[in-house]
Amino acid sequence: MRHFFTQSMLSVVLLLFGVLGHAQIRTVSNTQIVREHQESFSGVKSVKIDAQFSKEDVTGDSGSELKVNGKLMSDLKDDNYQVVSDVVDGVISISVRYPAQGWTTHSGELSILLPEGIILEVITTSGTVNVSELKNNEVKVTTRSGGIEVSNVVGNLKTMTATGTTRVNNVKGTVSLNSKNGAQHLQDVTGDVSVASTEGELRLTNVTGQVRTESTSGNQTLLQIKGAIRGKAVNGNVKVSESEGEAAVVTFAGAINFHNFKGTMNLNSTTGEQVGSRITLTGSSNYKTTEGRIRMTMLNATEELTFNCKSGTAFIQARGVSKKKKLNSGKGSIVVTSESNTGGQVFN
């Protein structure tokens, strides 16, 4: 009884801080199906689904009709559990409704077969969302704490979540991901990508297109990027590997690390160090830090490079030449400009 009371009090706290107006959820096993729903629509231009606590599965379909199958489960038999649809000029709104009781355990499952070309928007509070096998569909998914998984989609994608994990795989189109502290993993994308997070980890793999990332304390890992990179981080580290293009990365306390990169670099950090290995510069590049050190190992021939480096108090070393505070050497067409205050600089 004491354990149940403790769980109930915790549920009240959660209700006050983020789930006001929604029925409370507790995990028990004695639920039953209280509503089943099947419906088909033709001539659909767009669909908006408010799934609430329900799990949502959206799959592409070669047919012309949008098909909805769903069931709602609860430990309370109540006719107020409903799946309601509204159609106006080819725009469909589908929503899950439930009674106002605050101590009801409930869950749901909605399955949507979505024809090509239909605009899709899904909203949930805690239900997970799976989207797959879509062609020429615009997709927007918003969750509070539910996870998001998207795979094999041709079309633009936008996701937003507070704490749920987002996973995106094999998308051709513009992708925009946003999370407060949920991890965001993205791979095999052709198209411009924008990913933002406060605390969650960002991991991008095999992207062809312009990439923009921004985080406060979550680490960023970018692998196999072909295109311009624009990265911002406060305390999180930024790591770029096996990539090529124009890279511009700014951090405050986070470290910047590049490995096996080909292109131009514009790096700026306050206390975070800047480290690079197997770097091939294709154009003039700039490195700037206040307290962090700079250490770059480049594959370019020395005659390709010109170094214009300065430091407040630290030593500077560039291809066998060592100076304190200021170093100018080389006659190459690729100009390496660097600036630091207390951090040392090494260019090999």
Residues 6 or more apart from 9 whose CB is under 8 A from it? none
By CB neighbour count within 10 A (0-12 exposed, 13-18 middle, 19+ buried), where does 89 fall?
exposed
Which helix H or strand E contains 35, and what residues bound it? strand 32-41
Give pLDDT, residue 100: 75
Prediction pTM value:
0.85
User: Same domain, yes or no, for 304 and 183?
Assistant: yes
Give pLDDT, residue 233: 95
By CB neighbour count within 10 A (0-12 exposed, 13-18 middle, 19+ buried), where does 165 fall?
middle
User: Same domain, yes or no, for 106 and 58?
Assistant: yes
**Does residue 19 belong to any structural domain of this protein?**
no
User: Same domain, yes or no, for 90 and 135?
Assistant: no
User: Same domain, yes or no, for 204 and 325?
Assistant: yes
pLDDT tens profile 294-308: 999 999 999 999 999
User: Same domain, yes or no, for 113 and 209?
Assistant: no
CA angle 221, 224, 230 (to 5 degrees): 60
Per run of 10 residues, the mean pLDDT along the chain (length 348 residues) is 39 36 43 90 95 91 95 83 91 88 77 97 92 97 94 98 95 97 96 95 98 95 98 95 98 96 98 96 97 96 98 92 94 97 93
**Does residue 24 belong to any structural domain of this protein?**
no
**Does residue 15 belong to any structural domain of this protein?**
no
Give pLDDT, residue 214: 96
**What distances in angstroms separate CA 221 from CA 195, 281, 337, one per listed residue?**
12, 21, 25
Of 93, 109, 125, which marks where a domain is finished?
A: 125
pLDDT tens profile 257-295: 999 999 999 999 999 899 999 999 999 999 999 988 999
Q: Which residues, listed in sequence order, are joined to residue 177 by a DSSP beta bridge?
A: 159, 195
The total number of structural domains that make up the chain: 2
Of 125, 150, 181, which marks where a domain is finished?
A: 125
By CB neighbour count within 10 A (0-12 exposed, 13-18 middle, 19+ buried), where does 77 fall?
exposed
Residue 197 domain boundaries: 126-347
Cα(44)–Cα(118) distance, integer angstroms: 7
Of 125, 150, 182, which marks where a domain is finished?
A: 125
User: Same domain, yes or no, for 165 and 201?
Assistant: yes
User: Same domain, yes or no, for 88 and 231?
Assistant: no
User: Same domain, yes or no, for 276 and 176?
Assistant: yes
CA dihedral 143, 202, 169, 57 (to 10 degrees): -10
User: Same domain, yes or no, for 108 and 132?
Assistant: no
User: Same domain, yes or no, for 103 and 190?
Assistant: no
Give pLDDT, residue 101: 67
**Does residue 276 belong to any structural domain of this protein?**
yes
> Contact at 8 Å (CB) between 280 and 261?
yes
Q: Which of 126, 158, 127, 154 is nearest to 141 (CA)?
A: 158
